Structure 1
Amino acid sequence: MGCGTKEPKITQLCLAAIQRLMSHEVVSEAAAGNIINMLWQLMENGLEELKLLQTVLVLLTTNTVVHDDALSKAIVLCFRLHFTKDNITNNTAAATVRQVVTVVFERMVAEDERHKDVVEQPVPVTGNSNRRSVSTLKPCAKDAYMLFQDLCQLVNADAPYWLVGMTEMTRTFGLELLESVLNDFPQVFLQHQEFSFLLKERVCPLVIKLFSPNIKFRQGSSSNSSPAPVEKPYFPICMRLLRVVSVLIKQFYGLLVTECEIFLSLLVKFLDADKPQWLRAVAVESIHRLCVQPQLLRSFCQSYDMKQHSTKVFRDIVNALGSFIQSLFLIPSAGNTSNTSNPNAGSSSGGPAASQSTSGMVAAAGNASVLPAFEYRGTWIPIMTISVQGSAKATYLEMLDKVEPPTIPEGYALSVAFHCLLDLVRGITTMIEGEIGQAETDSQISAEETPSQTSDQTDLRTVSDPPEQEPVGRTVWEEMINACWCGLLAALSLLLDASTDESATENILKAEMTMAALCGKLGLVTPRDAFITAICKGSLPPHYALTVLNSSSAALCNKSYSIQGQNVQMISPSSDSHQQVVAVGQPLALQPQGTVMLTAKNIQCMRTLLNLAHCHGGYLGTSWQLVLATLQHLVWILGLKPSSGGALKPGRAVEGPSTVLTTAVMTDLPVISTILSRLFESSQYLDDVSLHHMINALCSLSLEAMDMAYGNSKEPSLFAVAKLLETGLVNMHRIEILWRPLTGHLIEVCQHPNSRMREWGAEALTSLIKSGLAFKHEPELSQNQRLQLLLLNPLKELSAIAHHDIRLKQLECVLQILQNQGDSLGPGWPLVLGVIGAIRNDQGESLIRTAFQCLQLVVTDFLPTMPCTCLQIVVEVAGSFGLQNQELNISLTSIGLLWNISDYFFQRGENIEKELNREEDILQMQAKEKGVALNRPFHPAPPFDCLWLCLYSKLGELCVDMRPAVRKSAGQTLFSTIGAHGTLLQHPTWHTVIWKVLFHLLDQVRESSTTADKEKIESGGGNILIHHSRDTAEKQWAETWVLTLAGVARIFNTRRYLLQPLGDFSKAWDILLDHIQSAALSKNNEVSLAALKSFQEILQIVSPTRETDKPETLPGISVTVPALFGPVSVAGPGRPLTRADSTGERLARYNSEQPIAMDEIEDSAMWWAAWNTWYRIGTESTKPPATCDKLTFIPSQPFLTALIQIFPALYHHIKTAFNMDELQKLGVILHGAVSVPISSDASPFILPSYTEAVLTSLQESVLTALDVLQKAI
């Protein structure tokens, strides 16, 4: 009644009283209806409008008695007050409406909460859009339903069903109310089918209808040419529609899959270049809201992209962002500038707008060094701070108070799109990696025992999730990557090229690196390589001719799903105008080229590349080739050179005269070098497959560097070789798996004609071998023969390389191995000795000297530690050094080494023999199993005897060397060795010594002596004079003949007791006599006389009484071994040797003083053979010449004297059968001997003066012979 008076004061008091009553909840439903009717009247009368709104709010918030029509009337009252002419009332009413709408839905939520335990069967909702209520809903839910339904009606400009009495409504306000309800109460629509129905049947069609002007509008098209005017997009409506769409997609995607596909396609269309700038800006803000929700993006991919005939929505969103970004850098032509500028759009966010002058562009470009910006082909776009990472704080979607389109600042749209890309990459990579990690964890739990694997890629393929889940998850991951990588790459590559800001560049690179790593984890090779290629190209100067990257780019350009403008990055020059140049250097190319410049951005990209390889090397696979090729070129441009161990250091200025580095990069170089080394150090954590990819890539790079170095005087790139070394050194714990490819390639490098390349190949190979031998392997190398041989084998293969520097490096390596690991070489000795012995005369003195140094170390320090089976190799190697002709001193010293070796054999004979016999038994067994005969030199002699025979045969080879000093030293050593240690041989072995060593040697010496050159040899270089007795090759060989014959004769004399029981001694005796005859008839006085002395020796004219046999001192290595004409020892230095095979008995027998019956040693045939030889020598030497036409050789008096002196001893053995024929022969010889004229040179010393009455030595000898004969008769 009071309110009905229309008196303002009374009305105020009454309203206050009513509010007080309502606050105490004493209002009934009927009273509430009356109050609302009274308030309606006041509203129509225009009284106390603010108090009215306040009262309605109190009424609806303090109780729940107001429903149905009463509630409807209260809400309509608020709406009507919103459209008054008073701004304060309007704004208050708007706030009240929002609050009332919220209250209505909160009541419904509370109502649901009260009845949540009551299970009701859902009633199907029919599509009757005209009915005013839904009977199945509870009261509060019915109110909410009717309210929401009418809001849709009002926005659609249709009459409301429930809100009767509405006179005015704006779409903007309606859309705001719809958005707030959808955003604040999503569970209402998700839990109640009636509300879900409203979403599908009312809200979505409404949104699509209201978007129509935005879809159809084309900026810049003339309305005159169109048959019907196109309605322009209206900013307030469009912006609110996008907000509603964002909520619908975020909250109700599961309900509205088909509708969301339409919305998303619309969003993509709004980014087109022909749309107004403000529309593109709000659209990209909306997309940004989606990009920070990776699970939502995953759903898009599953619902659309993975369906066969569906729109590829996720791919389209990413590609649209890429196209949008690229379109902003396209500068409109002058003719179109005025037409394309939109009066409502303000300045464009991309190229210069119509209002911008050229000077403005210059000014903008001038700011590039100050402001963070993107600059590309003359278009400069600043970078704006949009939002914090991972959030999508919009600017224009929040401008609810704006009616006119706002002016979009330059760079805003690009900056939002840039953040979209970054957040999208960050979101999906974090999500997928999290799911991968979870899959692995589940797999490990279910498997109970997990094999340790370092490659996630391998793990992914073995994840044993529930079978229906894991493959699905993996398929989604792969589809998401396949859908988005191409668009991402195009956009990020362009932005990287255009970026002038270090922070922006860092973000782009991080995104590309993250994507590359994720693709690698999933085994998606093409996208992985594409992102890596982009980083690689960013690391190098523009247009840099690097084939591996260009071919990779070409492959990407051919993809069928390339998007508009994607290939801009591939073909465009990098924008250097605002980049700080930090280094200038030479490109690594076959042909000399000009210098290239590296910018700060290039170095930044290089760091990212290093980071990628370091942290994600296990996923790079074949793309190691891309990464390492790029790093190699960067290292070259920066002038980094390899140092010891493979690390790279800044080179000297001399090495890179055209390299110019700024102070900024100089401080970075040591850091880059360290990171590079750490990259290869971290290879120890790679799995075996990844490590092989890395090694293969390095080998491939090295092959390219080798090809470039052929015929090129320019210094080669040593990056790959240095890094192969570094990689090998840190992977010693599993060196077996990479040793063959690694060393096989390095051996190829060692054969390269470029000396610098070879030097580093050898350095790398020898360093790896030394480190491999020094490394503490499990099991140790001494127990792992196969690994030791594997490590040493490349050292042996180097022997086949002719280059002097390689062999020197090889031998230096051997020397160091001997010094450091000599005691533990074990089964590796044959290889090491083979390397030492692989010398050739064309290798030069220094090589031979180094190799011999190794051999000396072996002989002096390591004979006791090496297997006895290697001793024969030591003998052969020492012999090969004696035979080389580059360094005489080494040849002589090697003969001394052979003497030392023989001494070692003698002292350690018992142990050596036992070990060799054991080895022989094993070999015999193996040969028997294979069904083949045992094949070794001097078989079937016992193994220990074979060792001696090998030593004798080597000395025998040296006895016929072309150098007299070597022959002399070798001969003396041979006969000393046989004399000193021959008693160690088994009895049958002497047969081999006589026939294969001694007689073979005699044959060779006789052959060489008889064919030697008689020309005089000029004096040696310097002050060396040659004595006249040795000034021809013939005279020098004569000395050798003398020495050899004397040595053999002495052995026959001193060892006759041993030799005579041999089956063919008589044959050997005949051959020896034949050699004595040949020598005695030689035209050289020295040889002939010595032959007769040897004849005397074997006839035992001076009997080798065994009582006089005493040990003699064996010569050492540093002295020349004396000719053996004295007594020969039968026991060497050191302890006496006893052997189970009765050698000791034989020694006792030789040293026994017990006389041996003469019939044991007498053999008449042997002495008659000696007589016949003596007769032939006498006949030939005393026979007068047939003619006097030519000079005749006249035997010397000493020769004839020695010849005649032989007869008495010989006669003693043959006198029993000496008959008249022999007497006549003797007479001829004696007559001939005294008839031989005396040389004029010798006569003063031989013939007596006429005052003396004495006989010559020859005459005395003749008389002695006759005297012996006379006494016998």
Structure 2
Amino acid sequence: MFSSKAKGIEWILDNDASSAAVLVASEAHAITLAIEGLLGVVFTVATLTDEAVDVGELESPRYEHHPSSDYYTGKTSHICISMVDSLWLTILDAFSLILSRSQGEAILLEILKGYQAFTQACGVLHAVEPLNSFLASLCKFTIVLPTDTERRSSLVQSPMSKRSEIQVDQKDAIVLTPKNVQALRTLFNVAHRLHNVLGPSWVLVLETLAALDRAIHSPHAITQEVATAVPKLTREPSRQYADFSILSSLNSQLFESSALMHVSAVKSLLSALHMLSHQSMTETSGSVSSASSKQIGSISFSVDRMISILVNNLHRVEPLWDQVVGHFLELAEHSNQNLRNMALDALDQSICAVLGSEQFGEDPPRSRDTTLDVESKSTELKSVECVVLSSLRGLYFSAQKADVRVGSLKILLRVLERCGEKLYYSWPGILEMLRSVADASEKDVATLGFQSLRVIMSDGLPTLPEDCLHVCIDVTGAYSAQKTDLNISLTAIGLLWTLTDFIAKGLHHGCQVEKGSGFSNVDTSPQQTNGEGVEEHVVSNSNKPDFEARIQIVNHEKLLFLVFSLIQKLVDDDRPEVRNSAVRTFFQILGSHGNKLSKSMWEDCLWNYIFPMLDSASHKAATSSKDEWQGKEIGTRGGKAVHMLIHHSRNTAQKQWDETFVLVLGGIARLFRSYFPLLESLPNFWSGEWL
């Protein structure tokens, strides 16, 4: 009857039909009329609710709900509320019964339209109990997963025969009937219509969508038509997965549409996702097993959808960030290794998505008429950038497990590689984090931290705020002095040379050449610095939102001496390779940039660094032990330890310090050859203190 009606044909019983047929047809006709009457009531409630919205008695579900004292006081809205309160139980029981007994496409579509209309009316009226009841009932018809009992029963009944492979596939099979597919479509329609007013009711929807997600990614999921009509070896992928492709697309579109939702509605959706994930977290043990695959799947679904919501709401990410990342940080401390890896990957995607968004790629206008807009924009960017990177720092410092600390450093490395040039306000926190990593005892942790520092030195120095340069020097010095990995120390000393090259550019551009002497007369007071240097500084920072507020005349002389102080400490290191590398680097720096130093700077170098370095090396060479060293043990032979041989020229501490002393003397000799005409003009050069 419903099929005929759907085709526009009025059903009529033939006059010459048998009495039995007439009786059956009469009952069917009565049921049809009853269903039409029931649907008529439902659509009447839905129509009246829409009219109440149109006349302003009710708020549209497209907007955020703000209940007021005069809410529901209109005549039409009062009628709707009364009808829903008195009818919803009866309608729900009838719809549920009819839907469970019906298989015809026409009647299924009509009943599901009724479900959708009444559920949406309950949502608009904020009738929470009817809304949740109808959603729960609808979700029961969407997807049915095989229970553990059914799986065991199927396994027990499977004989050891040639058909055992088919039985194994069947025990985990997830079959979606046309009724399931249409019910899922109806659920998506309801969720799209009521996304701003569902609130806590999202949990019911998300549980179903998580089950759908597991079914879509299950190798045993099939549709009923394909399962019954097409042999296993001849199934066409396009036919088998057509419904799954459509449902997967609808699933993704629901969360992509969160960009159109109100912020409070998005927070409700995130809260429901967190609740769904948390329920599964409490049920998941430390080891992953088949019994926990459902829980892992629900958590993965929640995490993926949180990322999707964040990516689609980058234009208003700040009010949502803590809620999203808070759950990732919670997962990162879970006892399950897979969940920790999932959390770290999600945090990586989230941070890179935010920092890679368009709002971090725009240059601020330089017009003075737009100063207020620039300040407002810079304040917003500063807040977002600091909030995003602080979560990574918090994870590293609070992590109890080594793999989480390693994972957080990997995230930082990828962030610096992909988005380092866009960072500005968060550099102090990043450098603080890298400074603490330098003291770590784990070699892999120190290595990852140093890789991040190398990225900064290679690509990030031009965009690094100049008031952070002294911190960057301190961090590089910390990696030079660490004892975990010798190669890191040697490479870090080379990075100090890179830093001085960058600092020396400031000396060159900020100085005035002293005629006739070959020296650069540097005046480091802000008041007397020439305008050209300031202008260049402004241009170099004009790509930052608050560059006018952050302009500082950095004392490049102090920065250079800070590097020299670090090198001077490294010259006293007990590792010969480190101190010798420090000596070479020190004299190479002076040899390369000596013509940019003022007279006062050269005097400081001579009396505070060069000659004290010579005295220290001479004293250590004279007082160090003459006992021979044994090389590293490399095995045993005849029950005795076998040590690596050390060349006779460096097999004692004194010989090693002699080599350092020779390097210092050679460096001083090269400086005197290159700059002696300049050095002898210093007032105290011939005072005799160093002769």
The TM-score, its normalising length taken from structure 1, stands at 0.40
Is it true that 1:791 corresponds to 2:388 in the alignment? yes
Q: Which residue of 2 aligns with 1:772?
A: 354
2:648 is equivalent to residue 1028 of structure 1:
yes
In the alignment, does 2:463 pair up with 1:865? Answer: yes
Q: CA deviation at 1:668?
A: 1.8
2:630 pairs, out of 998, 1006, 1016, with: 1016
Q: Distance in 2 between the 1:595 and 1:541 partners?
A: 12
Q: 1:524 aligns with which of 104, 112, 127?
A: 127
2:681 to 1152, 1165, 1189: 1152
Query: SS where residue 758 of structure 1 aligns?
Result: helix
User: Cα offset for 1:969?
Assistant: 1.0
The 1:526–1:786 alpha-carbon spacing in structure 2 relative to 1, beyond 3 Å, is: same
Aligned-residue offset at 1:531: 1.2
Partner residue in 2 for 1:683: 258
Q: Pairwise mapping of residues 903-922 of structure 1 onto structure 2 (< 5 A)?
A: 903-909=501-507
Secondary structure of the residue aligned to 1:628 is helix
**Partner deviation per Cα, 1:1166-1203 (whole Å, 9 max, x = no partner):** 89xxxxxxxxxxxxxxxxxxxxxxxxxxxxxxxxxxxx
Question: AA paired with 2:389?
Answer: L
- Structure 2 CA distance for aligned equivalents of residues 483 and 971 of structure 1: 90
Distance 1:668 1:1041, change over 3 A: farther
Deviation at 1:530, TM superposition (A): 1.4
Residue 51 (structure 2) aligned to one of 422, 426, 434: 434
Letter of the 2:669 partner, please give it. G
Q: Is the 8 A contact 1:1019 1:1025 kept in 2?
A: no
Structure 2 counterpart of 1:972: 584
Determine which structure has greater relative contact order: mean sequence separation of CA pairs < 8 Å that are 6+ residues apart, divided by chain length.
2
CA distance in 2, matches of 1:707, 1:469: 41
Give the distance between the partners of 2:562 and 2:12, measured in 1 at CA.
Answer: 97
CA contact (8 A) 1:892 1:966 kept: yes
Question: CA separation in 2, counterparts of 1:472 and 1:992?
Answer: 94
Q: For each residue in 1:1122-1181, what CA deviation from the matched residue of structure 2 results, as whole angstroms up to 9, or x when unmatched?
A: x5241536999xxxxxxxxxxxxxx9984528x8797xx36xxx89xxxxxxxxxxxxxx
Letter in 2 for 1:724: M
- Deviation for aligned residue 1:895: 0.8
Check the 8 A contact 1:793/1:831 in 2, yes or no. yes
Shift of 1:691: 0.4
Matched, 1:488 2:87: no
Partner residue of 2:489 out of 891, 898, 920 = 891
Assess, with a 3 A threshold, how the Cα gap between structure 1 residues 988 and 509 changes in structure 2: closer, same or farther.
farther
Task: Give the CA deviation at 1:675.
Answer: 1.3
C-alpha contact (below 8 Å) 1:384/1:412 kept by paired residues: no
Aligned-residue offset at 1:609: 2.1
Whole-angstrom CA distance in 2 between matches of 1:708 and 1:1001: 68
Query: Deviation of residue 989 (structure 1)?
Result: 11
Alpha carbons of 1:952 and 1:1157: their partners in 2 closer, same or farther (altered >3 Å)? closer
Instruction: Provide the secondary structure at the position in 2 that maps to 1:410.
Output: helix
Question: Cα distance 1:413–1:949, how it changes in 2: closer, same or farther (>3 A)?
Answer: farther
Alpha-carbon separation, structure 1, partners of 2:631 and 2:319: 60
Q: Give the aligned partner of residue 623 of structure 1.
A: 201
Superposition pairs of residues 1064-1213 of structure 1, within 5 angstroms = 1124-1128=667-671, 1150-1152=679-681, 1161=687
User: Could you tell me which residue of structure 2 aligns to residue 731 of structure 1?
Assistant: 313
The aligned residue for residue 65 of structure 2 is 458
The partner residue of 2:81 within 458, 478, 494 is: 478
CA contact (8 A) 1:422 1:511 kept: yes
Write the letter of the residue equivalent to 1:623. S
**2:32 paired residue number:** 415
Instruction: Summarize the Cα distance change of 1:903–1:676 in structure 2 as closer, same or farther, 3 Å threshold.
Output: same
Q: Which amino acid aligns with 2:202?
A: W
- The amino acid that maps onto 2:65 is T
State the alpha-carbon separation in 1 of the partners of residues 307 and 244 from structure 2.
21
- Kept in 1: contact 2:473–2:563 (CA 8 A): yes
Tell me, in whole angstroms, the C-alpha distance in 2 between the residues paired with 1:661 and 1:781: 57
Is 2:433 the partner of 1:826?
Answer: no
Distance 1:1128 1:665, change over 3 A: same
Instruction: Provide the TM-score with structure 2 as the length reference.
Output: 0.70
Does the 8 Å CA contact 2:621/2:657 hold for their aligned counterparts? no
Q: 2:210 aligns with which of 604, 620, 632?
A: 632
1:323-334 alignment runs, 5 A limit:
none
Give yes or no for contact 2:571–2:613 (8 Å, CA) kept in 1: no
Equivalent pair of 1:624/1:697 in contact (CA under 8 Å): yes
Distance 1:666 1:530 in 2: 31
Post-superposition Cα deviations, 1:1228-1273, rounded to whole Å, max 9, x if no partner, equal xxxxxxxxxxxxxxxxxxxxxxxxxxxxxxxxxxxxxxxxxxxxxx
Separation of aligned partners in 2, 1:688 and 1:439: 23
Q: Deviations over 1:548-597 (max 9, x none)?
A: xxxxxxxxxxxxxxxxxxxxxxxxxxxxxxxxxxx99999xxxxxx7474
- In the alignment of these two chains, the number of paired residues is 583
Indicate which of 723, 727, 746 corresponds to 2:328. 746
With over 3 angstroms needed to count, the CA separation of the structure-2 counterparts of 1:608 and 1:854, relative to structure 1, is same
1:483 deviation in Å?
1.9
> Is the partner of 2:463 in helix, strand or coil?
coil
Q: How does 1:378-393 map to 2 (within 5 A)?
A: none
1:353-380 superposed Cα distances (whole Å, 9 cap, x missing partner): xxxxxxxxxxxxxxxxxxxxxxxxxxxx
Q: Which residue of 1 aligns with 2:549?
A: none
The one-letter code of the counterpart of 1:799 is Y
For residue 111 of structure 2, what is the amino acid of its counterpart? I
Q: 1:630 is matched by which residue type in structure 2?
A: T
Residues 442-481 of structure 1, C-alpha deviations (whole Å, 9 max, x = no match) = x9xxxxxxxxx9744526x469xxx699544433332222
C-alpha distance in 2 between matches for 1:491 and 1:880: 74
1:668 aligned to 2:256? no
**For residues 1029 and 908 of structure 1, what CA distance do their matches in structure 2 show?**
43
1:1009 Cα deviation after fit:
8.1
Answering whether residue 642 of structure 2 is matched by residue 1039 of structure 1, we say no
Bigger radius of gyration, 1 or 2? Answer: 1
Of 861, 876, 888, the residue aligned with 2:474 is 876
* 1:68-90: CA deviation from partner (whole Å, max 9, x where unpaired): xxxxxxxxxxxxxxxxxxxxxxx
The equivalent of 1:325 in structure 2 is: none
| C-alpha distance 410-945 of structure 1, shift in aligned 2 (>3 A) | same
Cα pair distance change 1:626/1:410, threshold 3 Å: same
**Where do 1:1208-1219 residues align within 5 Å?**
none
CA distance in 2, matches of 1:415, 1:1001: 107
C-alpha RMSD of the superposition: 5.1
Cα distance in 1 for residues equivalent to 2:108 and 2:625: 87
Letter paired with 1:605: A
Distance between the aligned counterparts of 2:234 and 2:434, measured in 1? 47
Amino acid at match of 1:618: N
Give the CA deviation at 1:906. 2.1
Alpha-carbon distance, 1:896 to partner: 0.8
Q: Is the contact between residue 945 and residue 989 of structure 1 (CA under 8 Å) also seen in structure 2?
A: no
Residue in 2 that maps onto 1:696: 271
**Higher mean C-alpha deviation, range 732-741 or range 856-865:** 856-865
- Residue type of the alignment partner of 2:42: V
Amino acid at match of 1:414: I
SS at match of 1:619: coil
SS at match of 2:469: helix
Map 1:200-215 → 2, pairs under 5 A: none
Give me the whole-angstrom Cα distance separating, in 2, the residues matched to 1:527 and 1:661. Answer: 46
* Residue matched to 2:566: 954
The separation in 1 between residues aligned to 2:456 and 2:653, in whole angstroms, is 34
Structure 1 portions without partners, runs of 5+: 1-382, 397-404, 444-452, 546-582, 588-593, 642-647, 651-658, 920-941, 1051-1122, 1133-1146, 1168-1208, 1210-1273
Kindly state the Cα deviation for residue 711 of structure 1 after the two structures are TM-superposed.
1.7
> Matched residues in 1 for 2:524 and 2:183: separation?
65
Residues 1:854 and 1:1130: Cα distance change in structure 2 (over 3 Å): farther
